Chain A
Amino acid sequence: MRVLGLLARVLVILWVVSTLVFLMLHLVPGDPVAVMLGESATAADQAALRHHLGLDQPLWQQYLHYLGGLLHGDMGQSLFLQRPVADLIAARFPYTAELALLALAVAVLLAFPLGIWAAVRAGRWPDQLAMTLSLIGVSIPNFWLGPMLILLFSLWLGWLPVSGADAPWAWVLPAVTLGTALAAILTRMLRASLLEVLHEEYVRTALAKGASPRRVVLRHALFNALLPVVTVLGLQLGTLLGGAVITEVVFDWPGLGQLLVESIQRRDYPVVQGVILVIATAYVVVNAFTDWLYGWLDPRVRRP
């Protein structure tokens, strides 16, 4: 029943999103035919191409055609590249997923030690250092951090490639760039949540009964402090799966974000619609997964 409910929710959200995107895209000024044919095409050529692409049909007919295609699992054909939208997304999504997961891994690797360190040493220099670092992490924009990391690790040290996704270690710099900002938020969230839990009675009881501080923090306090952290992680993963445009541009990472921005610029309606549908689906799925994770972490939030 829960799966059916989720499926119904997903379908309604996707329908609303696809309709809104369709209408907004067609209402924004700009003509894909003009972008495709360039300056020198005659009016007759433009009209012929517009007819060829079905862009001369009334908006409601184009909408029905689009919706009909979606119901048959067909997201249409790119106006610009003349390739199926599904193929374009299938080529880009693995890159986006890879970068999202790696960035999240970097964020977790940075945030958990720092957050825990700050919480257990609250009010002392490690706490202040961790919080200062996280404040810097939140404040540095990716379009600055990315080139700085390239200068340091690619040009001066020569350890990593500048950009691209083909070289074996090409993922490191974009993942660190994205992960740093995420880590900063996670660190602060984890510290605050852990501090609250560390003052609970059961923590004091466990310590009084002789449990080691490491065991108390990792086994008892951390699990109970994870709920808000998981919420943020879920939101961050959803955002990352939508493509991190700036980071993708700086590092030439061929992900969904770049595809989306390029398609908006050239008014490639089917591709924009397809990519946004995928992003919306990713959000819904990640949210559902987060809900499930809540229940696993804290049996009190499980539904009867």
Chain B
Amino acid sequence: MNAPFPRRTLLAAGCGLPLLGCSARTPLPQNHFRLGVSGRPRSLDPRRATDALSSRLNRLLYEAPVDFNARFEPVPALMDWQQTAPLRWVFALRKSTRFHDGTPLTAEDVAATYASVLDPATASPHRGGLKHVQRVRALDGQRVQFDLTHVDALFPGRLTIGVLPRRLMKAGHDFNRQPLGSGPCRFVDANEQRTRLQRPDGALLEFIKVKDPLVQVLKLRKGELDWIQGGLSPELVRYCAARPELAVQWHRGTNFAYIGFNFRDSWLSQQPIREAIALGIDRAAIVQALFDNHARLAGALLPPEHWAGLKNWSGYPYDPGRARALLESAIGQGQRLSLSYKTSANPLRLRLAAIYQSMLREIGIDLTIQSYDWGTFYADIKAGRFQLYSLAWVGIKSPDIFQYVFHSQAVPPAGANRGHYANPEVDRLIEAALAAQMFAEQQRLYGQLQRVLAETVAQVPLWYEDQYAVLHRSVSGYTLAADGRYDGVLTMRRVQHG
């Protein structure tokens, strides 16, 4: 049969048609910044927000009574405070402030916000942090009084939830959909793909959801994004650092990665085996190879710069000879030990698991890696179904985390002592630190506590990963913070390149 169709007709129909009329790249607006984030914020109501993205955006939308400085000490933000009795704290507004709708922010609003968090009907996840509050009330337009049931020297550091207008709370306003606070940025709008805020200078901050890290980088290269922070694989960070149109900023981080043990396991309940594992992992080599030295070796849950942090201790050194000797003393000469290690399905975590497996094989431990989706993995860890696992503590500021993680009464669901670590000395130190009224005394007790935790190898501290942001060269003025907060977007500006 002869060809019934001219070739050109077929080619035109088959190829190229979808691309006709495609537009060229649009010029970058001067007062509009496009910021890439990997998800959408769970809640723009600060009473309900728990994820990092929501907390960081809520810092821009709302003002909280208290903030933290670089040593993680509570410092006045919206309010000053005074402890007028062992169980009474009075907070006073430092300046005249208005909500974005123009109404003044008063002590009544502060009291109503915290009363709302304490109300079980609000179902706020932050209620537990305020469990010692018996009563909160506004004394006048400027001052709020908190009455506690227990002595709590760390109390000011618990008032970090942004203040909402009492009038709107009473009216049942949905702050998640229409946030209204007194923070530096106003809420503009949000949909499935983006959340837009307006800076005091009128510039638009558009937080765009881009889930895939590779696509984030491609959008950054094309100029469709101006900034991304964290979430990339080490290879992608290296790639960005090598691109002339991109710049990578680094800052020392505080997120604490660790390996956890199950102390009910007959092998892992033995200190020599735990110590052998700690000595058998070459953390410095991992930090160098995988993170390009953009992480600090960790010795304890709180970083050394924390006011309660442990100074001059960065964990067990790599010593495979001693590790092997310790292991053999526990399981017998020439014997090998088989253990399982649970982790999430995150590619970087899996790669780390394979590295631990290889290193521990050298000292006589055969590690079986079990990886699950996050929900299953986390449920297993909480239920104590593991021998070894690895996780990270993110955004920890208060030292009462030690009670939550290491007190013998804090096994899930009461706390996060998932490995059932039980040490009467640690319990005593935690309770003494919580009851201490003097800052210096607390500092001493927490230091002592962390030394005991290190000596008993309660966990293997790994490292604090650095924070990083990748910026398109068309923007500057962004400053990173140790906890990854987004406050630096307030000073971001567009620059012209010739």
**Are the CB atoms of B378 and A42 closer together than 8 Å?**
no
**Are the CB atoms of A43 and B193 closer together than 8 Å?**
no
Convert A121-133 into 0s and 1s, putting 1 for each residue whose CB lies closer than 8 angstroms to a CB of B.
Answer: 1000000000000
For the complex, is A11 an interface residue (Cβ under 8 Å from B)?
no
**Are the CB atoms of B5 and A116 closer together than 8 Å?**
yes
For the complex, is B192 an interface residue (Cβ under 8 Å from A)?
yes
Q: Distance (Å) between the CB of B404 and the closest chain A CB?
A: 7
Convert A245-273 into 0s and 1s, putting 1 for each residue whose CB lies closer than 8 angstroms to a CB of B.
Answer: 00001111010001000101111000000
Given A29-B380, A249-B211, A80-B221 contact (CB < 8 Å): no
**Are the CB atoms of B129 and A40 closer together than 8 Å?**
yes
Q: Distance (Å) between the CB of B301 and the closest chain A CB?
A: 12
**Are the CB atoms of A175 and B18 closer together than 8 Å?**
yes
Q: List A contacts of B374 (CB < 8 A).
A: 265
**Are the CB atoms of A36 and B211 closer together than 8 Å?**
no
Q: List A contacts of B125 (CB < 8 A).
A: 36-38, 40-41, 45, 49
**Are the CB atoms of A267 and B42 closer together than 8 Å?**
no
Q: Distance (Å) between the CB of A262 and the closest chain B CB?
A: 8
Given A163-B219, A175-B18, A265-B373, A30-B127 contact (CB < 8 Å): no
Q: List B contacts of A35 (CB < 8 A).
A: 375, 378
Q: List A contacts of B414 (CB < 8 A).
A: 42-43
**Are the CB atoms of B413 and A29 closer together than 8 Å?**
no
**Are the CB atoms of A214 and B5 closer together than 8 Å?**
yes
Convert B24-47 into 0s and 1s, putting 1 for each residue whose CB lies closer than 8 angstroms to a CB of A.
Answer: 110000000000000100110000
Interface residues on B, range: 35 or more
Q: Distance (Å) between the CB of B117 and the closest chain A CB?
A: 11
Nearest chain B residue, comparing its CB with the CB of A212: B4
Which of these binds chain B: A62-70, A166-174, A225-233, A290-298? A166-174
For the complex, is A147 an interface residue (Cβ under 8 Å from B)?
yes
Convert B439-466 into 0s and 1s, putting 1 for each residue whose CB lies closer than 8 angstroms to a CB of A.
Answer: 0000000000000000000000000000
Given A91-B192, A109-B13, A213-B1, A151-B218 contact (CB < 8 Å): yes
Given A39-B393, A81-B42, A147-B215, A158-B380 contact (CB < 8 Å): no
**Are the CB atoms of B222 and A162 closer together than 8 Å?**
yes
For the complex, is B408 an interface residue (Cβ under 8 Å from A)?
no
**Are the CB atoms of A258 and B211 closer together than 8 Å?**
yes
Q: List B contacts of A155 (CB < 8 A).
A: 218, 221-222
Q: List A contacts of B221 (CB < 8 A).
A: 155
Q: How far is the CA of A158 from the CA of B25 in the complex (A)?
A: 6
Convert A183-218 into 0s and 1s, putting 1 for each residue whose CB lies closer than 8 angstroms to a CB of B.
Answer: 000000000000000100000000100001110110
Q: How far is the CA of A80 from the CA of B40 in the complex (A)?
A: 12
Which label, helix, strand, loop or mixed, suits the secondary structure of the A interface? helix
**Are the CB atoms of A250 and B212 closer together than 8 Å?**
yes
For the complex, is B23 an interface residue (Cβ under 8 Å from A)?
yes
Please tell me which one of the listed residues B11, B24, B43, B376 contacts residue A30 in the complex, with CB atoms under 8 A apart: B376
**Are the CB atoms of B3 and A120 closer together than 8 Å?**
yes
For the complex, is A84 an interface residue (Cβ under 8 Å from B)?
no
Given A159-B19, A168-B23, A121-B3 contact (CB < 8 Å): yes
Q: How far is the CA of A41 from the CA of B51 in the complex (A)?
A: 12
Q: List B contacts of A10 (CB < 8 A).
A: none
**Are the CB atoms of B404 and A40 closer together than 8 Å?**
yes
Please tell me which one of the listed residues A28, A47, A217, A266 contacts residue B4 in the complex, with CB atoms under 8 A apart: A217
Q: How far is the CA of A34 from the CA of B210 in the complex (A)?
A: 25
**Are the CB atoms of B375 and A28 closer together than 8 Å?**
yes
Please tell me which one of the listed residues B15, B123, B131, B193 contacts residue A52 in the complex, with CB atoms under 8 A apart: B123
For the complex, is A24 an interface residue (Cβ under 8 Å from B)?
no
Q: How far is the CA of A251 from the CA of B214 in the complex (A)?
A: 11
Q: How far is the CA of A214 from the CA of B10 in the complex (A)?
A: 13
Within 8 A of B (CB), among A85-113: 91-92, 106, 109-110, 112-113
Within 8 A of A (CB), among B54-109: none
For the complex, is B424 an interface residue (Cβ under 8 Å from A)?
no
For the complex, is A6 an interface residue (Cβ under 8 Å from B)?
no
**Are the CB atoms of B176 and A82 closer together than 8 Å?**
yes
Given A150-B218, A165-B193, A80-B13 contact (CB < 8 Å): no
For the complex, is A239 an interface residue (Cβ under 8 Å from B)?
no
Q: List B contacts of A145 (CB < 8 A).
A: none
**Are the CB atoms of B222 and A36 closer together than 8 Å?**
no
Q: Distance (Å) between the CB of B412 and the closest chain A CB?
A: 8
Q: List A contacts of B194 (CB < 8 A).
A: 166
For the complex, is B347 an interface residue (Cβ under 8 Å from A)?
no
**Are the CB atoms of A113 and B13 closer together than 8 Å?**
yes
Q: List A contacts of B494 (CB < 8 A).
A: none
14 examples of A-B residue contacts, CB within 8 angstroms? A30-B378, A40-B125, A41-B128, A43-B414, A43-B415, A48-B127, A82-B176, A113-B10, A155-B222, A162-B222, A169-B21, A207-B1, A212-B4, A265-B373
Q: Chain A residues in contact with chain B, CB under 8 A?
A: 28-31, 34-49, 52, 80-82, 91-92, 106, 109-110, 112-114, 116-117, 120-121, 147, 150-151, 153-155, 158-166, 168-169, 172, 175-176, 198, 207, 212-214, 216-217, 249-252, 254, 258, 262, 264-267
